[in-house]
Amino acid sequence: MVLRLSISDPDFDAAFDALVNARREADADVSADVRAIIQDVRDHGDEAVARLTGKFDQHDLEQTGWRVDKAESEAALEGLEASLRVALELAALRIRDYHDGQLPDNRDYMDDAGVRIGARWGAVERAGIYIPGGRAAYPSSVLMNAIPAKVAGVEHIIMVTPAPGGYINPLVLAAAELAGVDEIWRIGGAQAVAALAYGTEKIKPVDVITGPGNAWVAEAKRQVFGVVGIDMVAGPSEIVVVADGKNDPDWIAADLLSQAEHDPTSQSILFTDDAKFAEQVSVKVGEQLGVLATSETATTSWNDNGAIIIVDRLDQAVPLVDRLAAEHLELAVDDPDALFRKIRHAGSVFLGRHTPEAVGDYVAGPNHVLPTGRRARFSSGLSVTDFMKRTSFIHCDEQALHNIGPAAVALAETEGLPAHAASVQKRLDRI
């Protein structure tokens, strides 16, 4: 049964604390298993990847093929139903346009001391993107990962995706072709992350790994961070909806279930100041669960992790929403901007009654790879800069070094680093 709370309940604070701190990740401690898989791939390369793929995805890479031929992804795109291709191309266009605006500017200027300083941005050479392939096909995730990499200027984009029985959904291949992915490999799981990070005989190592996955994939990304860059460690999906009683309860119920259907550990939470409306939403959730093709997953998610929270006034929800720091936040109210100005922590915010979270998953433009598990308190969604790095530069002429060098000498001597001091002082002596 879904959790119901009221801010006027005497035990509300304790109950809400428990909701905030609930651990929804996989129960099993997967870190040791993942560490063993990564070491196996490091020690045995392609042989380990093939063996683990046979074990977990039930196909022989030597028979099904390690890598998808370019002709196969081209055929997948060409074979799309016309309306679906139009939708995919619209999504790609909007995602590309939005991410074009994220490209950072280089800096190059002369300061008051006569020192030329600045920074130059550049893309990583090779990016690996992980695309889930278990419960459903996610062409949208291909676009959301590959297009920002392309916009950043990444030279080579390598995609890995689980292929149970050797099969990859043609939609995923079509999206990869449309987005400009350079290599597609039929491997998934922690072994795929390890192969991308350390390289094997067949797969060259990458510089950055992005994309969502299950608990094993998330843990593998955590463990290889430092060898490669990663976007984030992603957990179960989540949505928070703040809605008044003027909304259609059928709409809000659908919004809540749009995340519940992802996974049994997903979380959907409604805040409202209207108890009657809350009950109407609850009834509509039950009705929709009765007809959803994903009902089994969504029902478990809603009953185990969902919540309906009644507040006296909607502004009382703001600090509670900030504590949850949810992946997705809908503000379905008359003046969403007024609430949005007060919100500090959310992965992505959807303003107004006609902006369901699902539009952001596909065609709005901003990235749908977002921080989960309260990580929106300190991190952001996937962006172009996740595929870039910044190199600073400094240029001193004699006068500039004369102006700032003595301070550097003084600080080096204070820190007990005489060679540092000498490398500056020797030049100052000549000047």
Average pLDDT over residues 303-329: 97
Residue 373 lies in a domain: no
Backbone angles phi, psi at 380, to 5 degrees: -125, 170
- pTM of structure: 0.94
Q: How many domains does the chain have?
A: 3
* pLDDT above 60 for 409: yes
224 and 162 assigned to the same domain: yes
208 and 145 assigned to the same domain: yes
Residue 383 lies in a domain: no
Average pLDDT over residues 93-106: 98
Per residue in 48-74, pLDDT tens? 999 999 999 999 999 999 999 999 999
225 secondary structure, DSSP code: B
- Report pLDDT for 220: 97
38 and 92 assigned to the same domain: yes
82 and 122 assigned to the same domain: yes
Q: What phi-psi label fits residue 375: left (phi over 0), alpha (psi between -120 and 50 degrees) or beta? A: alpha
Range of the domain at 321: 3-24+235-364
44 and 176 assigned to the same domain: yes
Residue 301 lies in a domain: yes
Residue 112, both tokens: 């008051």
- Report pLDDT for 234: 87
- Report pLDDT for 366: 98
- Report pLDDT for 1: 84
Average pLDDT over residues 425-429: 97
185 and 267 assigned to the same domain: no
Residue 377 lies in a domain: no
Range with the poorest average pLDDT among 21-30, 157-166, 356-365, 369-378: 21-30
Residue 248 lies in a domain: yes
Residue 56, both tokens: 């977990």
Residue 352 lies in a domain: yes
Q: Which of 196, 230, 264 is the last residue of a domain?
A: 230
Catalytic residue among 261, 327, 330, 357: 327
Average pLDDT over residues 356-367: 98
Q: Is residue 327 flagged as an active site residue?
A: yes
For the chain, the distance separating the N- and C-terminal CA atoms, rounded to the nearest angstrom, is 79
184 secondary structure, DSSP code: E
Residue 178 lies in a domain: yes
Q: Which of 196, 214, 230 is the last residue of a domain?
A: 230
191 and 255 assigned to the same domain: no
Per residue in 120-170, pLDDT tens? 999 999 999 999 986 568 999 999 999 999 999 999 999 999 999 999 999
208 and 244 assigned to the same domain: no
- Please say whether the beta carbons of 155 and 126 come within 8 A: yes
- Please say whether the beta carbons of 191 and 48 come within 8 A: yes
Q: Which of 180, 199, 230 is the last residue of a domain?
A: 230
The 10 Å Cβ neighbour count of residue 84 is 12
Catalytic residue among 99, 328, 330, 357: 328
Tell how strand 116-123 and strand 107-110 pair up. Answer: antiparallel
201 and 74 assigned to the same domain: yes
Residue 361, both tokens: 């998953």
61 and 210 assigned to the same domain: yes
41 and 93 assigned to the same domain: yes
How far is Cα 383 from Cα 380, in angstroms, rounded to an integer? 8
Tell how strand 328-332 and strand 208-210 pair up. Answer: unpaired
- Report pLDDT for 28: 60
Average pLDDT over residues 207-225: 95
- Report pLDDT for 394: 98
Domain at 163, CATH number: 3.40.50.1980
